[in-house]
Amino acid sequence: MSDFTLADLEAIVAQRAQASPEESWTAKLVAKGQTKAAKKLGEEAVEAVIAAISEDRQNLVEESADVLFHLLVVLKIAGIPLSDVMDELARRTGQSGIAEKAGRQPE
């Protein structure tokens, strides 16, 4: 088990976002903007779903890592710290998922 955390990854994303786009995939993605980053997140999420459906464990691990990375890039571009997401998750754990969903505003 690794001691590497999402907070560690968030720090790496922040650091690499400051690099030259010619030297860093993260910086290149940030430079292309939220639309490109969000599309890449969606692509990785679809690939993770396909891996899950096909029961390809190793590919699911790899695609899940891509999803988490690209989510943190999207959050970085949006100026949303991971702590805000974690706070929301903590808030939701105070009730059952069914009750939490029932309490949401209709979309």
CATH of the domain at 46: 1.10.287.1080
Identify the pLDDT of residue 1: 72
pLDDT band at 107, cuts 50/70/90? low
- Residues 86-94: what's their mean pLDDT? 91
Give the other-Cβ count within 10 Å of 84's Cβ: 12
pLDDT tens for residues 7-26? Answer: 999 999 999 999 999 999 99
Q: Which domain holds residue 36?
A: 6-80
Q: Is residue 101 part of a domain?
A: no
Q: Is residue 21 a part of any domain in this protein?
A: yes
Domain assignment present for residue 100? The answer is no
Whether 104 has a pLDDT exceeding 80, the answer reads no
All residues at 6 or more sequence positions from 8 whose CB lies less than 8 Å from its CB, including other chains: none
Q: Given this model, what pLDDT does residue 100 score?
A: 62
- The model's pTM is 0.86
Residue 38: partners with Cβ closer than 8 Å, 6 or more residues away: 74
- The per-residue pLDDT for 103 is 74
Q: Is residue 95 part of a domain?
A: no
Give the residue carrying structure tokens 């899950």: 52
Query: How many domains, the chain?
Result: 1
The predicted-structure confidence for 17-63, as pLDDT tens digits, reads as follows: 999 999 999 999 999 999 999 999 999 999 999 999 999 999 999 99
CA torsion sign for 56, 52, 39, 5 is negative
